Amino acid sequence: MKRTTEPNGHVRNAARTQAALLDAALQVFLRDGYGGATTEEIVDRAGVTRGALYHHFANKRELFRGVIERTQREIAEALMPTGPADDSWEAFVGVVLTALDSVHDPATRRLLLIEAPAVLGWIDIRKAQEPLLHSIAALLEPFETGHHREPSIRAFLLARLLLAAVEEAMLYLAHTDNPKRDRRIVQDEVCKILENAGPRRVLISETQL
């Protein structure tokens, strides 16, 4: 992804163009899949030229990477602690439960669980997840040390383990032949893992399940 060093007005215009491309690309990738999506459709939907597309992204794969990276950043920003540790943790639990539900949408499931690792590879996926891992580790740090500070290695390790558990749960729900039954079982087990990782006194309310 390229960064412009032009005057402020051009920087803002470039940012708007990039955002329009990412918005359009997300919709086209969700509708048509990575293989079926075309750059022609994306630039038409974004209302920009092909030259603008290739100014920001070298090819369709890099545009796809931009979509996945932005999605991860948006989740990470939503998880950054802004208040008491317990409240932030409950918000995180809510995001996890929403993520587990999202796999029942075929387009979202295909994009995040099948195409993203297939197109980008796990190394690039892990790089894209770094902001999300940092946010989860920041949520965990007060429960590890009692202090809000830069997350420790221990908090980062636990964040990776939690993220892996959630990803495996999403994959399982995406392929089960009885989603109604298994959804509650998976949520119960994931919530047990989260309760052990976070504040022990924060219980998962029935309204979140």
From residue 151, give the alpha-carbon distance in Å to each of 36, 46, 67, 105, 126: 41, 38, 27, 34, 18
pTM: 0.78
pLDDT tens per residue, range 157-173: 888 988 898 889 888 88
From residue 165, give the alpha-carbon distance in Å to each of 40, 48, 137, 186, 196: 38, 40, 15, 10, 13
Give 31 or 91, the one with higher predicted confidence: 31
Rg, the chain, Cα only: 19
What structural domains and CATH numbers belong to the chain?
1-58 (1.10.10.60), 67-208 (1.10.357)
Place of tokens 């902001």: 131
pLDDT tens per residue, range 10-53: 667 889 999 999 999 999 999 999 999 999 999 999 999 999 99
